[in-house]
């Protein structure tokens, strides 16, 4: 992604919720000159104070209503469980012709929660940027978060094509690759690629915590790369992930059911000494990693591309 400044895609953008995703959007929009003005609102007074201190948003407002007034694009950057209530709150203040979007990692629930509250003259284009870190909060954002990452758009029935194209232009301007997907298919895909892996990581870290035969200091001191990466994933925002599992229940349970079947098969192979099965399975899964690297979605460098900690 170059640093060249392009013409604004939207005159005014309102960010509702000022965590990692929203703050990264602001810095990416600022980098690319993609918005004339960016307003922001966070429910926490402390978060708003932090945003003002670090220069996050051109104007931080003390209410969601003030933030969305006259905005051409409103981005809901709150946990998926709060989307409906926020949409209901801001609906009376939305400008005719404005676009409302979100960044939640569950789409069917968000569509069902938000759509009933929006005026007929407002476009709704749900979205999901497939980018993030284990860090959260307004100070965690950075302009490069979306570079060469995917953002999935999930337009609802009857959405004006020009509204979708404009939002696509914004995400592409922020460095993302953009694709469109049906809501239910999105939720199933994300259950495989994100939701179930997070739950497995939370579980493995919880198991380690429960094993009193190993002291806390030993778990930390002797952490191998696999466990360290489980802890990195398990450090993600607990409110966000609670809402993800409660709102993408069916797809997550389906994938966890398949995972359990695969796990039982591997348990059986280990118990019976079936090395051929284990070797074939690990060879097949190894190829998935190569595919991710070849697609440019990660680096082959050791330690998942992160620098080794400095002594």
**pLDDT above 70 coverage of the chain, percent:** 91
Helix (H, G, I), strand (E, B) or coil at 36: strand
Task: Count how many residues are written for the chain.
Answer: 311
Q: Is a pLDDT exceeding 90 seen at residue 92? A: yes
Is the pLDDT at 304 greater than 80, yes or no? no
| Structural tokens at position 101 | 């979007």
What's the token pair of residue 236?
A: 């993600």
Domains and CATH numbers, the chain: 10-181 (3.40.50.720), 185-273 (1.10.3660.10)
Q: What integer pLDDT is reported at residue 236 of this predicted model?
A: 82
Contact yes or no for 100/123 (Cβ under 8 A): yes
Neighbours of 91 (CB within 10 A): 17
Question: CA 202 to CA 258: how far, in whole Å?
Answer: 18
| 284/275 Cα distance (integer angstroms) | 14
Give the model's confidence band at 214: pLDDT under 50 very low, under 70 low, under 90 confident, else very high. low
Cβ neighbors of 187 (< 8 A, separation 6 or more) are 106, 107, 108, 248, 251
The pLDDT of residue 302: 53
Q: Which helix (H) or strand (E) holds 264?
A: helix 249-272
Strand-pair category, 127-129 with 177-180: unpaired
Residues 6+ apart with CB under 8 A from 30: 38, 143
Structural tokens at position 273: 């000494």
Judged against a pLDDT cut of 80, whether residue 6 lies above it is answered with no
Distance (Å, whole) CA 107 – CA 129 = 12
pTM: 0.85
Query: Beta-carbon neighbour count of residue 156 at 10 Å?
Result: 15
Q: Show the tokens assigned to 21.
A: 């995703």
Q: What is the Cα–Cα distance from 18 to 20, expressed in whole angstroms?
A: 7
pLDDT given at position 213: 61
Residue 29 near residue 21 (C-beta atoms within 8 A): no
Percent of the chain with pLDDT over 90: 72
- Cβ-count burial of 305 within 10 angstroms (0-12 exposed, 13-18 middle, 19+ buried)? exposed
Q: Where are the alpha helices (DSSP H) in 211-248?
A: 216-221, 225-234, 238-247
Mode of pairing for the β-strands spanning 127-129 and 150-153: antiparallel
Query: Hey, how many other C-beta atoms are within 10 angstroms of the C-beta on 18?
Result: 28
Q: In whole numbers, what is the pLDDT of the chain averaged over residues?
A: 90
Q: Are 15 and 102 in contact (CB under 8 A)?
A: no
**Contacts for 308-311: CB closer than 8 Å, 24+ residues apart:** none
- Using only C-alpha atoms, what is the Rg of the chain? 21
pLDDT of 210: 76
Of 80-94, 204-218, 235-249, 256-270, least confident by mean pLDDT is 204-218
- How many angstroms separate the Cα of 10 from the Cα of each of 49, 61, 84, 85? 26, 19, 24, 25
Confidence of residue 239 (pLDDT cuts 50, 70, 90): confident
CA proximity to 77, closest of 123, 30, 134, 13: 13
Q: pLDDT band at 132, cuts 50/70/90? A: confident
């Amino acid at each position: 992604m170059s640093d060249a400044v392009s013409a604004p895609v939207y005159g005014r953008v309102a960010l509702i919720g000022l965590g990692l995703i929203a703050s990264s959007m602001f810095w990416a929009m600022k980098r690319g000159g993609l918005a004339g003005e960016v307003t922001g609102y966070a429910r926490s007074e402390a978060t708003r104070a932090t945003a003002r201190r670090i220069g996050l948003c051109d104007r931080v407002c003390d209410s969601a209503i003030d933030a969305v007034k006259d905005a051409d694009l409103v981005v809901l950057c709150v946990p998926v469980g709060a989307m409906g209530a926020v949409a209901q709150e801001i609906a009376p203040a939305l400008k005719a012709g404005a676009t409302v979007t979100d960044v939640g990692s569950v789409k069917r629930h968000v569509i069902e929660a938000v759509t009933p509250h929006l005026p007929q003259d407002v476009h709704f284009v749900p979205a999901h940027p497939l980018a993030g870190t284990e860090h959260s909060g307004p100070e965690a954002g950075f302009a490069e978060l979306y570079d060469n990452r995917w953002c999935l758009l999930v337009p609802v029935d009857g959405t004006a094509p020009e509204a979708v194209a404009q939002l696509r232009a914004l995400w592409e301007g922020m460095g993302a690759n953009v694709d469109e997907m049906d809501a239910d298919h999105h939720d199933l895909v994300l259950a495989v690629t994100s939701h179930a892996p997070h739950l497995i990581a939370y579980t493995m870290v919880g198991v380690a915590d429960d094993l009193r035969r190993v002291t806390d200091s030993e778990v930390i001191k002797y952490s191998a790369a696999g466990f360290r990466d489980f802890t990195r994933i398990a450090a993600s925002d607990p409110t966000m992930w609670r809402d993800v599992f409660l709102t993408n229940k069916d797809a997550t349970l389906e994938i966890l059911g398949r995972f359990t079947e695969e796990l039982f098969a591997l348990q059986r192979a280990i118990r019976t000494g079936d090395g051929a099965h284990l070797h074939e399975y690990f060879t097949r899964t190894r190829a998935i990693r190569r595919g991710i690297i070849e697609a440019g979605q990660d680096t082959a460098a050791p330690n998942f591309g992160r620098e080794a900690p400095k002594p």
